[in-house]
Amino acid sequence: MIFTDLTIWDGSTLLAEDCLHITGSYITNIGHTAELTDIERKEAISCSGLTAIPGLIDAHVHLELNPDDRNPPERTEPAVIPLMAERAAKMAQAGITTARDLGGGAWFELDLRDRIAAGEVPGPRMLCSGQPITSPRGHCHFWGGEAENADAALNVLSRQVDHGVDLIKVMATGGRMTAGSEPTDAQFSQEILDTIVSTAHSHELPVAAHCHGTEGIRRAALAGVDTIEHCSWVGKEGWASDYQADVAEIVLEQGAWVSPTVNKGWQRMLDSKTGNVLQRVRQAYRQMLDLGIPMVASTDAGIPGVFHADLPHALVVFAKIAELSNEEALKSATSDAARALGVSGVTGRLAQGLSADILMVDGNPLEDLTAVTRPVRVIVRGKKNRG
């Protein structure tokens, strides 16, 4: 496939070239329309008025969860399998070409990952963690990853390795979705977290840590996790009320990425005329960013009210809350996200030799970020999923 007359942003730079060549599942050339042969011109698809950017990456989703359900599942049933496939297909149609699934109960998302990779069903490239390691009756215990001590935690980890996961997920704090679990509370000792992370890394698997409360953030960072999910700085006064500069310094020193899971529903904070949650959250984000802590776009898709195809809309909200430039926001969902997830050698940029994961939108998102919500063509691994 040859696409011409494009504006091309490659994940970091607006290019002078205006033509993309795709062979099989890879980008084989980025050049100029004027340089095409007569035969190539006849086969080419004109894309005047469109901008091509790398396909979007959502660093935190749950394909198993139904956003219309207010309560967590009691167990994972096979009836969810076709629904997960539908959600994956909608993600690809929206321009999400890579996603990281951070929790399920029966490894159905791994089977779906493999079916997508084999070209059997449409969907984004998937990175899956399987069952999260959690404390007894801790956050998301319903997925079967409960562990009362280090040995039990390693048993859960080993079970995920045996199923072929791409990374390990640990619940470093409680969460709102699980009755009896408190977001402020750390769920594991430093010793247990250290053991989980070092063992996962010995298997060459990164670790994502669910962290709401500040003490959990501190322990996860000290343990050397690769990504801190949410990083909510929850204290006695609520969300982002307990930002601690010394803990943020540990996050920076340890090299962790922050995945703040901002969904489009956070627009309510921007619209609110009362309350100071937005001010606290914005200040925490700005302090982390100014310090040099990198962030990636993520939505926690699947939790109540957060639909799997919503990342493009969520990205616009994230940019406003964190006061990001359009380019910074786009990088958080493309090239930066690929680096955080360890797939920058595969995707996240438009470059010769990388996977043909491409989103073509109406307009220029560098000038108007809402352009990402208007997908015209989506290509995942060289296959058209839209347009």
For the chain, give the percent of residues with pLDDT over 70.
100
Structure tokens that stand for 247 in this block: 């803990």
The tally of CA atoms less than 13 A away on the side-chain side of residue 94 is 23
pLDDT, one tens digit per residue, over 10-31 is: 999 999 999 999 999 999 999 9
- Is the pLDDT at 275 greater than 80? The verdict is no
- Give the Cα separation of 38 and 143 in Å (integer): 57
Q: What is the mean pLDDT of residues 274-284?
A: 91
The CATH number of 56-341, from 3.30.9.10, 3.20.20.140, 3.30.70.3170, 3.10.129.10, is 3.20.20.140
- Is the pLDDT at 147 greater than 80? The verdict is yes
Q: CA dihedral defined by 232, 236, 238, 239, rounded to 10 degrees?
A: -10
Cα end-to-end distance, the chain, whole Å: 13
Contact by Cβ (8 Å): 61, 300: yes
Q: How confident is the model at residue 74 (pLDDT cuts 50, 70, 90)?
A: confident
pLDDT, one tens digit per residue, over 29-65 is: 999 999 999 999 999 999 999 999 999 999 999 999 9
Q: pTM (2 decimals)?
A: 0.97
Structure tokens that stand for 65 in this block: 């969860």
- Give the Cα separation of 342 and 100 in Å (integer): 11
Question: What CATH code would you report for 2-54+348-386?
Answer: 2.30.40.10
Domain layout of the chain by residue ranges = 2-54+348-386, 56-341
Q: How confident is the model at residue 71 (pLDDT cuts 50, 70, 90)?
A: confident
CA dihedral (379, 380, 383, 385) positive or negative: negative
pLDDT, one tens digit per residue, over 210-257 is: 999 999 999 999 999 999 999 999 999 999 999 999 999 999 999 999
- Give the Cα separation of 385 and 350 in Å (integer): 17
The reply to whether domains 2-54+348-386 and 56-341 share a CATH topology is: no
pLDDT, one tens digit per residue, over 183-194 is: 999 999 999 999
What H or E segment, with its residue span, contains residue 208? strand 207-213
Contact by Cβ (8 Å): 66, 83: yes
Strand partners, 29: 21
Which of these ranges, 60-74, 308-322, 360-374, has the smallest mean pLDDT?
60-74
* Residue 92 phi, psi (nearest 5): -65, -40
